[in-house]
Structure 1
Amino acid sequence: MRYVPCAVIDSTLREGEQFARASFSPAQKIQIARALDAFGVEYIEVTSPCASPQSFEDCRAIVGLGLRAKILTHTRCHMDDVQRALAAGVDGINLVLGTSSFLREFSHGKSIDAVIQAATEVITFLQQFPVEVRFSCEDSMRTSIDDLLRVYRAVDALGVDRVGIADTVGAGTPRQIYDLVSRVRAEVQCGIEFHGHNDTGCAVANAFAAWEAGATHIDTTVLGIGERNGIAPLSDWVARLHATAPRLTAHYHLPGLVGLDRLVAEMIGLEIPFTGCVTSFCAFTHKAGIHTKAVINHPQTYEILAPEAFGLTREILTGHRLTGWNAVAARGEALGVHLCPDEARSVARFIKAISDRGPLNQDQVDQCILTMVPRADAHPVSAVVAESEVAYVHSVS
Structure 2
Amino acid sequence: MSTASSPYARISDMLSNISNFNIIDTTLREGEQFANAFFSTEQKLKIAKALDDFGVEYIELTSPVASQQSREDNEKICQLGLKCKKLAHIRCHMDDAKVGVETSVDGLSVVIGTSSYLRKFSHGKDMDAIYKVAGEVITFIKSKGKEVRFSSEDSFRSDLVDLLRLYRHVDRLGVNRVGVADTVGCANPRQVYELIRTLRGVVNCDIECHFHNDTGCAIANAYCALEAGATHIDTCILGIGERNGITPLGGFAARMYVADKAYVTDKYNLHMLRDIENMIADFVEIQIPFNNYITGYCAFTHKAGIHTKAILNNPTTYEILRPEDFGMTRYVSIGHRLTGWNAVKSRCEQLDLQLSDAEIKEITRKIKELADIKPLGIEEVDSLLRAYNNQLDSTSHEDMHAAADAAGAEIKHDAN
Q: TM-score, normalised by structure 2?
A: 0.92
The Cα of 1:385 is off from its aligned counterpart by 5.4
Q: 1:395 offset after TM fit, Å? A: 2.8
RMSD across aligned positions (CA) = 1.7
Which of 115, 118, 121 is residue 136 of structure 2 equivalent to? 121
Aligned counterpart in structure 2 of residue 245 of structure 1, from 260, 263, 266: 260
Q: Which residue of 1 aligns with 2:304?
A: 288
- Alignment counterpart, residue 282 of structure 2, candidates 266, 287, 304: 266
Q: 2:88 aligns with which of 68, 73, 85?
A: 73
**Equivalent residues of 2:110, 2:149 under 8 A apart:** yes
Tell me the alpha carbon deviations over residues 334-362 of structure 1, each in whole angstroms, 9 at most, x when there is no partner. 11113322111111111111011111111
Contact between 1:224 and 1:232, CA under 8 Å: does it hold in 2?
Answer: yes
Q: Is the 8 A contact 2:387 2:410 kept in 1?
A: no
Verify the 8 A CA contact 1:124 1:158 in the aligned structure 2: yes
1:235 alignment counterpart: 250
Separation in structure 1 between the aligned mates of residue 412 and residue 250 of structure 2, nearest angstrom: 39
Q: Does 1:43 align with 2:63?
A: no
Query: Structure 1 residues 84 and 178, CA, compared in 2 at 3 Å: closer, same or farther?
Result: same
The answer to whether the 8 Å contact 1:284/1:307 transfers is yes
Question: Among 369, 376, 381, which residue is 2:401 paired with?
Answer: 381
1:8: how far off?
A: 0.3
2:317 matched to which residue of 1?
301
Partner of 1:317: 333
Alignment partner for residue 338 of structure 1, among 343, 347, 354? 354
Q: Is the 8 A contact 2:384 2:408 kept in 1?
A: no
Letter in 1 for 2:307: H
Q: Corresponding residue for 1:368?
A: 384
- The letter of the residue matching 1:362 is I
Change over 3 Å in CA distance of 1:125–1:394 after alignment to 2: farther
- How far did 1:247 drift? 2.2
Q: State the AA in 2 paired with 1:355.
A: A
1:88 matched residue in structure 2: 103
Task: Structure 2 unaligned segments of length 5 or more: list them.
Answer: 1-11
Count of aligned residue pairs for this structure pair: 396
SS at match of 1:279: coil
Residues 389 and 161 from structure 1, CA distance in 2 versus in 1: closer, same or farther, beyond 3 angstroms? same
Among 123, 128, 141, the alignment partner of 1:108 is 123
Indicate conservation of the 8 Å contact 2:366/2:408, yes or no. no
Question: Contact 1:93 / 1:133 at 8 angstroms: preserved in 2?
Answer: yes
Q: Which amino acid aligns with 1:142?
A: R
Q: 1:52 corresponds to which residue? A: 67
The one-letter amino acid of 1:268's match is V
Q: Per-residue deviation at 1:374? A: 4.8
Structure 2 CA distance for aligned equivalents of residues 394 and 296 of structure 1: 32
Q: Secondary structure at the match of 2:89?
A: strand
Amino acid in the other structure paired with 1:300: T
Cα distance change of structure 1 residues 394 and 24 upon mapping to structure 2, 3 Å threshold: farther
Q: Distance in 2 between matches of 1:383 and 1:74?
A: 69
Which stretch of the first structure deviates more once superposed, 334-343 or 43-52? Answer: 334-343
Q: Which stretches in structure 1 are left out of the alignment for 5+ residues?
A: none
SS in 2 for 1:134: strand
**Which amino acid in structure 2 is aligned with residue 239 of structure 1?**
A
CA positional deviation for 1:304? 0.3
Identity of aligned residues (%): 52
Aligned to 2:40: 25
Q: What secondary structure sits across from 1:87 in the alignment?
A: coil
Secondary structure in 2 matching 1:198: coil
Match of 1:189 among 199, 204, 208: 204
Is 2:414 the partner of 1:395?
yes
Worse overlay, 321-330 or 371-380: 371-380
What is the CA-CA distance between 1:379 and the residue it aligns to?
A: 1.8
Which position in structure 1 is the counterpart of 2:78?
63
Q: How many Å apart are 1:312 and its aligned residue?
A: 1.4
Distance 1:275 1:133 in 2: 37
Q: Match of 2:31?
A: 16
Q: Is contact 1:353-1:385 (8 Å) kept?
A: no
Moved more, 376-385 or 12-21: 376-385
Matched, 1:161 2:176: yes
- Residues 65 and 96 of structure 2 are in contact (CA less than 8 Å); yes or no, is this contact kept in structure 1? yes
Aligned-pair CA distance for 1:366: 0.7
CA contact (8 A) 1:134 1:160 kept: yes
For the pair 1:145 / 2:165, whether they are aligned, the reply is no
Higher mean alpha-carbon deviation, 12-21 vs 331-340, is at 331-340
Determine the C-alpha separation between the residues in 2 that align with 1:321 and 1:33: 46
> Deviating runs (4+, > 4 A) in structure 1?
382-386
The one of 323, 338, 344 aligned to 1:328: 344
SS state of the match for residue 233, structure 2?
Answer: strand
Kept in 2, the 8 Å contact 1:354–1:390? The answer is: no
Aligned to 1:215: 230
Tell me the alpha carbon deviations over residues 141-198 of structure 1, each in whole angstroms, 9 at most, x when there is no partner. 1001111101101001111011100000000111111111111111110000010000
- Whether the 8 Å CA contact 1:99–1:138 is kept in 2: the answer is yes
- Asked whether the equivalents of residues 360 and 394 of structure 1 are also in contact (C-alpha less than 8 Å), the reply is no
Aligned partners of 2:384 and 2:411 also within 8 Å? no
Counterpart position of 1:175: 190
SS of the aligned residue for 1:255 comes to helix
